[in-house]
Amino acid sequence: MSSKPPISPAPPARRATVTLSTLAAKKALGEPIAMVTAYDYPSARVAESAGVDVVLVGDSGAMTVLGYPSTVPVSIEEMLMLAAAARRGLSTPMLVGDLPFGSYEASDVLAVASAQRFVKEAGCDAVKLERGGSSSDRARAIIAAGIPVMGHVGLTPQTATALGGYRSQGRTAERALEVARDALDLQEAGCFSIVFEAVPSELTDALMPKLVIPVIGIGAGPATDGQVLVFHDLLGIYEGHAARFVKRYGRVREAMEEGVEAFVREVRERRYPEPRHGYTMAPDEATRLRELLGDA
Ligand code: KIV
């Protein structure tokens, strides 16, 4: 018989906190970056345990969890509440808060003040804004105030009406050049990363060699440094229209409906609760209670 002490299993490896340098290193090493949206504590806990690198509290939450018809109406207060809840569920992924429509466009002062609220009140590590042009100036101002910024080009839902609706962007050479200019402006402004949404893969392929910062794609082909999907889309929770780039990795809405339907059925059939779901009193206490109530 061996006299060696039993070898205790190694503790599970603790994941390191994801920082700007982690993302830059992943790009340099060619390691894909995984980003998902999350809008509350349970979805953040799922992202945390799945090993996601970046969690975005996207303004898509306006539609997926707040029930608005687009991302436009959501207020900064609503976004801050969602971001703070996600923060409480995370320790390792980087947390990026989406600046909602109307919270940054008008001036650098407004943009910096809104970004600071995401950091101070919701504990975000960084913020995201949409489009190039004047948004690049807003990004520069926020970065100068010490807050990292993620850009977003291509289909930018906050201005979808001006873009002709929720449709892919940059499908002609001229329009692709505009998207490219926006991306390069945002990089030049100091953004640490950019989202490319719903653009042809030829545009992504042509732009990737010009971008030294990590590019996260959503409907932008396989050449980006990472991919992002909306939590409710990838798990099949959201019942609205799904864009072509959405891949369903789960059918959670069906599971939720089945669960709640079963509960409703059991309540109506008096099959729930069973004795094991309840609490009891000692028989003498029950007798005394009836006496006190005058029933004995
Ligand atoms: O709001 C959002 O979820 C987003 C992602 C699609 C990138 O902006």
Question: Which amino acid would we find at residue 141?
Answer: A
Do 81 and 202 lie in a common domain? yes
Q: What is the pLDDT of residue 14?
A: 75
> pLDDT digit string (tens) for 231-282?
999 999 988 788 999 999 999 999 999 999 999 999 999 999 999 999 999 9
The domain tally of the chain equals: 2
Query: What's the CA gap between 294 and 61, in Å, rounded?
Result: 55
Atom of ligand 1 nearest to the CA of 37: 3
Strand partners, 204: none
Q: Computed from CA positions of residues 207, 245, 170, 126, in that sequence, does the dihedral angle turn out positive or negative?
A: negative
Do 262 and 184 lie in a common domain? no
Q: What is the pLDDT of residue 201?
A: 97
E-assigned strand segments in the chain: 33-37, 54-57, 94-98, 126-128, 149-154, 193-197, 215-218, 226-229
CA of 33 to the centre of ligand 1 (A): 15
Do 185 and 268 lie in a common domain? no
CA angle 114–120–126, rounded 5-degree value:
65
Query: What's the CA gap between 5 and 258, in Å, rounded?
Result: 50
Do 275 and 165 lie in a common domain? no
- Residue 277 CB coordination number (10 Å): 7
Q: What is the pLDDT of residue 239?
A: 82
Residue 4 lies in a domain: no
Do 166 and 282 lie in a common domain? no
Residue 222 lies in a domain: yes
> pLDDT digit string (tens) for 100-154?
999 999 999 999 999 999 999 999 999 999 999 999 999 999 999 999 999 999 9
Q: Rounded mean pLDDT of the chain?
A: 95
Task: Kindly state the greatest CA–CA separation across the chain.
Answer: 89
Residue 60 lies in a domain: yes
Q: What is the pLDDT of residue 51?
A: 97
Q: Which of 52, 55, 150, 228 to mutate to test the pocket of ligand 1 (most atoms within 8 A of CB)?
A: 228
- Whole-model pTM: value is 0.93
| Alpha-helix residue ranges (DSSP H) falling in 121-230 | 134-144, 173-189, 201-207
Q: What is the pLDDT of residue 15?
A: 83
Which one, of 69, 83, 73, 9, lies nearest residue 39 by Cα? 83
Residue 3 lies in a domain: no
Q: Which residue has the higher pLDDT, 1 or 34?
A: 34
Active site residue: 48, 78, 105, 197, which one? 197
- 193 contacts 213 by C-beta, under 8 angstroms: yes
Which residue puts its alpha carbon closest to atom 4 of ligand 1?
58
CA of 149 to the centre of ligand 1 (A): 14
Tokens representing residue 277 in the block: 């779901």
Q: What is the pLDDT of residue 285?
A: 97
Report how far apart, in Å, the C-alpha atoms of 18 and of each of 15, 129, 185 are: 9, 20, 25
Q: What is the pLDDT of residue 295?
A: 72
Q: Is 274 in the active site?
A: no
Do 66 and 99 lie in a common domain? yes
CA of 60 to the centre of ligand 1 (A): 6
Do 236 and 109 lie in a common domain? yes
Atom of ligand 1 nearest to the CA of 229: 6
pLDDT (mean) for 270-295: 96
Which residue puts its alpha carbon closest to atom 5 of ligand 1?
58
Nearby residues of 101 by Cβ (< 8 Å), 6 or more positions away? 59, 71, 72, 74, 158
pLDDT (mean) for 3-12: 66
- Residue 231 CB coordination number (10 Å): 26
Q: Which residue has the higher pLDDT, 3 or 210?
A: 210
Do 195 and 278 lie in a common domain? no
Nearby residues of 56 by Cβ (< 8 Å), 6 or more positions away? 35, 36, 37, 38, 96, 98, 128, 150, 228
Do 179 and 237 lie in a common domain? yes
Do 176 and 267 lie in a common domain? no
Q: Which residue has the higher pLDDT, 179 or 4?
A: 179
Query: What's the CA gap between 58 and 97, in Å, rounded?
Result: 7
CA of 264 to the centre of ligand 1 (A): 35
E-assigned strand segments in 43-168: 54-57, 94-98, 126-128, 149-154
Residue 177 lies in a domain: yes
- CB-defined site of ligand 1, < 6 Å: 37, 56, 58-60, 98, 152, 195, 197, 218, 228, 230
pLDDT of 202 higher than 70: yes
Do 178 and 276 lie in a common domain? no
pLDDT of 9 higher than 90: no
Query: What's the CA gap between 38 and 228, in Å, rounded?
Result: 11
Which residue puts its alpha carbon closest to atom 8 of ligand 1?
58
Residue 117 lies in a domain: yes
Domain enclosing residue 44, as ranges: 20-250
